[in-house]
Homo-oligomer: A and B are copies of this chain.
Amino acid sequence: MPSEIERKFLVTADTWRDGSPGVRISQGYLSQDPERTVRVRIGGKNAWLTIKGQTQGITRAEYEYAIPVAEARELLEMCLPSVIDKTRHKVPHADHIWEIDVFHGANEGLIVAEVELADASISPILPPWVGAEVSDDSRYFNSCLAAEPFTTW
């Protein structure tokens, strides 16, 4: 089973910024059911349909399929309200590439950093610009941020 092992942290400083524009991402959900989340994502010139299973610890089954961007745009219109809008930056630190998501719109003000691990037993070296870990906090799941955005907390 393909799976993703991810840890997620709040970002507490701007020192990671290197002036690069990042990639704008729009994503929505055809299902926000945590046991079978179905996500439509457009990132730059590409698009994907992604199915994620129940989170077990920091591991989650994940199946991802590339789809045509034009169809992804139509699928986004079919998604549950609301669509998430964010800019993703990739920042190397020690042995890992961190993905920093700067949210816009209804989630403006939220910045989180994620690191994907090959094995759940690996402890990444934390960059100085991350704070509290929120891997287990379901409010920070993107599927939950779509339903209950950060600015409404």
Residues of A within 8 A of B (CB): 1-2, 30-31, 33, 35-36, 38, 49, 51, 53, 61, 63, 65, 67, 71, 74-75, 78-80
Contact of A30 among B2, B51, B71, B78 (CB under 8 A): B51
Residue among A71, A78, A79 having the largest count of chain B Cβ atoms under 10 Å: A78
Question: What are 6 contact pairs spanning A and B, CB under 8 A?
Answer: A2-B71, A30-B51, A31-B33, A36-B80, A53-B78, A61-B74
What separation, in Å, do the CA atoms of A36 and B63 have in the docked complex? 18
Q: Which residues of B contact A74 (CB under 8 A)?
A: 1, 61, 63
Copies of this chain held together in the complex: 2
Find out whether the CB atom of A36 lies under 8 angstroms from the CB atom of B1: no
Q: Look across to chain B and name the residue whose beta carbon is closest to the beta carbon of A30.
A: B36
Q: Which residues of B contact A53 (CB under 8 A)?
A: 78
Q: Look across to chain B and name the residue whose beta carbon is closest to the beta carbon of A72.
A: B63
What separation, in Å, do the CA atoms of A4 and B71 have in the docked complex? 15
Find out whether the CB atom of B35 lies under 8 angstroms from the CB atom of A38: no
Find out whether the CB atom of A65 lies under 8 angstroms from the CB atom of B65: yes
